Structures are given as structure tokens and as C-alpha cells.
Amino acid sequence: MIGEGSLLADKLKAPDFILFFTVLGMLAIGVVMVFSSSAVSAQVNFQDSYYFLKRQLVWVSLGLFGMIILMNIDYHIWRKGSKPFLLFTLILLVLVLIPGLGKVVNGARRWLGFGSLYLQPSELAKLAMALFCADNLSRNQEKVTKFMKGVAPILCLLLLVFGLILKEPDLGTALSIGGMVFVLLYAAGARLSHLFSLGAAGVVGIVAAIIAEPYRMKRLLAFSDPWADPLDTGYHIIQSLYALGSGGLFGVGLGRSREKFLYLPEPHTDFIFAILGEEMGFLGTATVLLLFFLLAWRGFRVAMAAPDIFGSMLATALTTVITMQALMNIAVVTASMPVTGIPLPFISFGGSALIFNLAGVGILLNISRYAATR
């Protein structure tokens, strides 16, 4: 095993090209589907059917540039800055909740910025938590079997981050970070009894969070029976299922969606998978699922072949959080879980989410360059 921080240049390999081209494939599908799903609403709201496409191309270009840069920077550098990076992220998560600083969109206060430039701190929190937890668990691996010394410190940090993001509110992102930390604890060797206890406590906490907010309770009831309130709380789910059902095996044709004509809300963000299913059919949705399966497979292979514990933990965290977001988004669109408002990685329209996900892939690709085998 190569010592941490002392990886030699002659050991550097080419990055995992299967992972690289898998992400490029999803980005290409995303650009096409963002334009197809958003053209109508962009024309209605901005008198420019290319409005969202032009912005997505900018975000994709910036994200790819960042991914390539990070792919060529030794991932151990980020370990040294994991603590200040997390502290900076926590400050942003607090600032976004302050009226006048955080921008409110659709009742959620999730963005910081000015003009047309905005940052979503909760997206940054995924990367910050991945780096910090990977560093902490790799340094304290012998303590992870002890609840108070190994698990409790990570749990306290998770509760803080979870609580701040939940206040925005953004339950979907909070759940994805919680799931990532849970998987990391398991990978680090935490006792199953501790993990089961944490899982049970997490379920109770999620139920409490749902009950505490009337809109979440309405979403849960709509999930159980969307037809009970088809014009309000059940509307998203019903229109999403209409889109998927209309697509059949081959779809109605690219650009020929009916649901994007202001029937399905958020067709280019949270529900872009439904429009893809309508236009490209089962074959289109199956292709996207296959691409995410490839990403998970290659990401976890990189984790298993990493030359040190930190690299293994970090690759596991980055792969888990991206895969979990994808599963949650697709589960929402297919009415397999209540609406949470989380985009589909690399495919949905968005700036912060796309850039930070591509940054994570860049770090993952760098770890793959030092992997023992692939």
C-alpha cells in the first residue's frame, strides 16, 4: 500500500474512462432533455425558448472544466483543508437562513448570491461532509466500533448539518447526506447494532419532521393516495405518472412531450425523468438507469482499489451521495416515495448541484488514477 500523501508520480495511471464517459453520456442526455423539457415554459416566462438551454451549457462547461482540473490534482490535498472547508460550509448554511441574505424560491430559502449568480450551500455541504467524514473515519478507524468515541462525534456533526438544511427546508438533500454518512460508517466498520439503532432513530426523526410541517404531511398523504386531491397535493405525482405512462416502450418522440406544455410542474428540474420517459419511453429511462448503475459500479470499484483508507472512504462517500440522489429523484418521479424536491444528477437543470457533482466526480477520477486495479 502506498503511504498517504506520498503517492509517486510513476504510479499515476489514466483515469477510469468508463466512469468518465458514463458521466459525459449523462451530461449529453441532460443538455438535450433540459432543452426539450424547458422550451415551452422558457418561451412563456422569458420569451426565449433557449433560456434554460443557454444557462445549462454554461454550467456544464464550467463543471467539466472543474472536473478535469480536479481529476489532475492529488486528492490528498483536499484532506488538509477538510476542516476549514466544513466550517466555511456551516457558516454558509447559517447565512442562507438569515432573511435578506438567503433567496426564497417557492417557499424555500436555499440560495446565497446576487444578480444572476447564486450558490446553494446545501450542495456544497455534500462535498464538505464527504471530505470531512472520510478524513475523520480513516484517522480513527480503531474507534469506530465504540459508539461514544467513534460514532457519536460524526452523528453530532450530521445532526447539525441535517438540522440546518432541514430549516431551508430541503429534506431530500438532508436525507442524501444522512444516507451517505450511514454508508460510510458501515464501510468503516461500525457495529451493526449501532447502525440499526441509528437507522431506527433516523426513521423516528424523519416521521417527526414530516408531522411537524403540514406541507410534508400533505405530501405523504398525497403519496399514499394522489387521487384524493388531484388538483393540489397529488397533482405532481399524477402528471408525472401520466408522462411516464404515455411514453410506453419507445416514447412519443424527442421534443413531442405533452406534459411539458405547463401541465407537469418543474419539468426541467425535479421531474425531468418523467419528460424523458414520455419522449423516449422505457428504453430511454432504462438507458439512464444503466448509466447510473455504471457510475455506481465504477465508483465503488475505485473505492475498493484505492491505495489508502482515506481514498477508499472518500470514493465511497462521493459515489454514494450521487447514486442516492439519483435513486431518490427517480423514486419520486415514479411515485415510489413522497415528493422531496431533489434534482436528477447530471441531467436536471441547475448550477450548484451540477458543478459540485462534477467536482465530486473529478476527485473520484483522481482517486482512480492511483487505484491498484480497476
How does pLDDT run across 346-371, given as a tens digit for each residue?
Answer: 999 988 899 999 999 999 999 999 98
For the CA atoms of 62, 67, 72, 73, the dihedral, rounded to the nearest 10 degrees, stands at 90
Mean pLDDT, all residues of the chain: 90
CA 57/CA 55 separation, integer angstroms: 5
Instruction: Detail the DSSP E strand segments found in 27-131.
Output: 102-105, 108-114, 117-119
Amino acid at site 374: R
How does pLDDT run across 252-267, given as a tens digit for each residue?
Answer: 999 999 999 999 999 9
Residue ranges of the alpha helices (H) in 260-339? 272-305, 309-333
- 301 versus 142: which is more confidently predicted? 301
CA 213/CA 235 separation, integer angstroms: 19
3-state secondary structure of 308: coil
The pLDDT value recorded for residue 1 is 37
pLDDT at 9 over 60: no
For the CA atoms of 360, 3, 143, 153, the dihedral, rounded to the nearest 10 degrees, stands at -40
Q: Strand pairing of 117-119 and 108-114?
A: antiparallel
The pLDDT value recorded for residue 5 is 45
Percent of the chain with pLDDT over 90: 67
Average pLDDT over every residue of 277-304: 97
What is the pTM assigned to this prediction? 0.91
- Lowest mean pLDDT of 103-117, 146-160, 185-199, name the range: 103-117
pLDDT at 268 over 90: yes
The pLDDT value recorded for residue 116 is 66
How does pLDDT run across 78-121, given as a tens digit for each residue?
Answer: 998 999 999 999 999 999 999 888 888 777 788 887 666 778 99
User: C-alpha 114: how far from its chain's center?
Assistant: 24
Average pLDDT over every residue of 168-194: 91
